[in-house]
A and B are shown apart, each in its own frame.
Chain A
Amino acid sequence: MAVRKNQADLTATEKRNFVDAVLELKRSGRYDEFISTHNAFIIGDTDDGERTGHRSPSFLPWHRRFLLQFEQALQSITPSVMLPYWDWTADRTPSSSLWADDFLGGDGRSGDGRVTSGPFAFGSGKWPMNIRVDGRTFLRRSLGTGVRELPTRAEVDRVLAMSVYDAAPWNSSSDGFRNNIEGWRGPNLHNRVHVWVGGQMTTGASPNDPVFWLHHCFIDKLWADWQRMHPKSGYLPTGDTPDVVDLHDTMKPWNDVTPADMLDHTKFYTYV
């Protein structure tokens, strides 16, 4: 069975294989298609209009499918590669091995935020910003500047304890597990991590930073943890909700997969 691991537990070879596969997707142009897709949904998803990838119940199954597609693209380069997850409640400082030069590289430098070390640094020549919201062509980070602290385990546990998946009006003002983990309400988990990393991670083109995938992989794991804690709580809503993806509605852009298809991650991978 395919296993997704904590990034802190990866071997040197696993890190290298992951990085090399990501760089190859970038070189071939396939990586940027993922950025474009994400950016299009970020712009198109609105609280009082159609919403699929964000600020809606399908935030979790949409990103589960998006990550699966990216993971499959990586595996077309190196079949053994799996997405790792970043538990930011545990590895919560810029000195974490996540940010070492043999993996994602370090913080941005002061002044312009440019990442200057690791495989994704501008100087490597292998990580151009082709899909961007401003003129800067280098990966940027500003770890812990936009917000000082990453979410704590206690904050995560508080959100995991919420037994209702989602609630009307099914957007950024909702109560329930989904909006609290997304971060528009409550202690702010997912959104806050984007802000903590800074740089492109704060923009609609956030997959420009490879840490996007490790962050969302942990969000995906937390959804799996929540399902195990609340076996009687299902995805909501289950039908006839305008502008919102119901349990058995297909999701754009794939149009052949529903939230129901995404509920059981063990069909695809397990977590350790």
Chain B
Amino acid sequence: MSRPTRRQVLHGSAAALAGAALAAPVAFADTAAAHPADGHGQAAGDEPSGGHEMPMPFDEMYQGRHIEGWPADEEGGQNGGHHSSGSHAEHRAGQAGPHDGMDFVVRIDNNDLHVMRNADGSWISLVNHYETFTTPRALARAAVRELQGADLVPVVTG
């Protein structure tokens, strides 16, 4: 499966509008508490993931927590300083193949939140594993609400 270019993502406007409408009640909840950490994070991060387009990176404060996300295989970029090793360590050892290039790193206060993309393009996280979200950003915000201030811890899978 080939990964779409950023331009393709940005031009997926029909899917973007539909996705944004669905995501709105979750993604824009408590916007008063959301302070974009930089100029481009707020708008870009709301690009929905409908179909198989890779969502855009995001980086913001939400309810007092620093949430950020970016495609796992993106080199350099805004988060070039810390790579996704922590997130991949939670996967089965050495997993690559079909997911390569399809994973998205999400962090809350610098701790990895394990996320997964569903076949229909929606997303789930380890914190909310039985409900789907339109974007990793909506998923991160839902996790912040669920955590109620608690820190994520490294996942133990025995």
Contact = CB atoms under 8 A, between A and B. Distances in A.
A33 B157 CA distance: 9
Contact of B156 (A42, A44, A131, A206): A131
Contacts of B153: 132-135
Contact of A40 (B117, B150, B158): B158
A48 B99 CA distance: 8
A204 B126 contact: yes
A34 to B, nearest CB: 10
Contacts of A204: 114, 126, 129, 155
B151 interface: yes
B118 A135 contact: no
A33 B156 CA distance: 10
Of the listed residues B95, B116, B152, the one surrounded by the most CB atoms of chain A closer than 10 A to its CB is B116
B134 to A, nearest CB: 15
Given A36-B157, A49-B99, A202 B127 contact: yes
Interface residues of B, number: 33
A135 B151 CA distance: 5
Given A112-B148, A173-B120, A195 B130 contact: yes
B75 interface: no
Given A172-B118, A191-B130, A36 B152 contact: no
A44 B120 contact: no
Of the listed residues B1, B132, B146, B152, the one surrounded by the most CB atoms of chain A closer than 10 A to its CB is B146
B90 interface: yes
A186 to B, nearest CB: 13
A109 interface: no
B38 interface: no
Nearest to A185: B120
Contact of A39 (B147, B150, B155): B155
Interface string A110-134: 0011000000000000000001111
A46 B103 CA distance: 11
A165 interface: no
Nearest to B97: A49
Nearest to A32: B158
Interface in B105-121: 114, 116-120
Nearest to A191: B130
A201 B49 CA distance: 26
Contacts of B95: 49
B92 interface: yes
Interface in B137-156: 146-148, 150-153, 155-156
A136 B117 CA distance: 26
A250 interface: no
Interface in A27-76: 33, 36-37, 39-40, 42-44, 46-49, 55
B77 interface: no
Contacts of A237: none
B98 interface: yes
Given A37-B158, A131-B156, A46 B116 contact: yes
15 contacts: A36-B156, A40-B158, A42-B126, A49-B98, A55-B118, A112-B148, A133-B127, A134-B151, A169-B119, A183-B130, A184-B132, A190-B130, A194-B129, A195-B130, A202-B129
Interface of A: 33, 36-37, 39-40, 42-44, 46-49, 55, 112-113, 131-136, 146-147, 169, 171-173, 183-184, 190-192, 194-195, 202-204, 206
What 8 A-B pairs are tightest by C-beta distance, nearest first?
A: A36-B158, A40-B157, A173-B119, A194-B130, A47-B119, A191-B130, A134-B150, A135-B151
Interface of B: 1, 90-92, 95, 97-99, 102, 114, 116-120, 126-132, 146-148, 150-153, 155-158
Given A134-B153, A195-B130, 6 more contacts: A47-B119, A133-B153, A147-B131, A171-B119, A173-B120, A204-B114
